[in-house]
Amino acid sequence: MFKSQVMKHSVAQTLLVHPHPLEREAVAEWLQKKSSIGLVGKSSSLEKVARLPYLADIDIIIAYAYEAESVAAQIITLRKSRPGLRFLLMGTSSCTKWVSEIVRSGVSGFIAIDSELDEWEYAIKAVSEGKIYYGQEVIMKLSEAPSDQNDCQPVTSSTHFLTKREIEILRLVASEYSTNSIADQLFISGKTVETHRRNLFQKLGVKNSVGLTKVAVRLGVV
């Protein structure tokens, strides 16, 4: 663990938590190159975070999620002592129940460990601005099954399955982007956007953009 020099107020003061030393150092090195991130310290586990003398200085904890139940419990405990503390989790999205446990703990962000670096940056920026960001794979897993899904077997019904493109469009619709703006953002035609929008209406059982926005909020897309 280490303590950094005083950062600018606008920079997110961040703590990195990862159990594996080599991977922890690699991620820390990448984070330190980002001007919008002030890496305050590193830790091998969330359990040790509560004992850090500079916990009050931390805005965001970026943590590798390994055991869902214990990680979720530790996050809940830390949030009780520091209500304003935000969490960005990175981990696998292979199990619906596992993902749901993490989401219910109140994290601000959750992305797959093997996400592209540009998604890591987008997620960190969103969380640092007080927004919620769940990666596409995580949202797809949440949308595959009803909230009372109790096992780790994916539900294959197309009614509950969203493609990555549909998730992108759902996020932009909920962020009040127009059809033309979405088309420009994703480099597709307006007609294609409308086709995806109609598919979202059908799959999610809503009738308009307001309904899509409500679903996006429930899933943590925005």
Contact 16, 43 (CB under 8 A): yes
Residue 86, beta-bridge partner list: 60
CATH class of 162-219: mainly alpha
Domain regions of the chain by residue span? 12-138, 162-219
CATH code, residues 12-138? 3.40.50.2300
Q: Give the separation between CA 182 and CA 192, rounded to whole angstroms.
A: 10
Cite the beta strand spans of 29-183 per DSSP E.
37-43, 60-64, 86-91, 109-112, 133-134
What confidence tens digit (pLDDT) does each residue in 129-159 have?
Answer: 888 788 877 777 666 645 444 444 433 333 3
DSSP state of 159: G
Q: What is the pTM of this model?
A: 0.63
12-138 and 162-219: identical CATH topology: no
Q: Give the separation between CA 49 and CA 45, rounded to whole angstroms.
A: 7
User: Along the 222 residues of the chain, how does pLDDT read in single tens digits?
Assistant: 444 443 344 688 899 999 888 889 998 998 888 877 889 999 998 989 988 998 888 999 999 887 666 888 889 889 888 888 999 998 876 567 777 778 778 888 888 888 888 888 888 888 888 887 888 777 776 666 454 444 444 333 333 457 778 888 888 888 888 999 999 988 899 999 999 998 888 877 788 888 888 777 766 666
77's tokens = 């405990």
**Cα–Cα distances in Å, from 179 out to 50, 192, 206, 208, 213?**
46, 10, 18, 13, 15
The pLDDT of residue 42 is 94
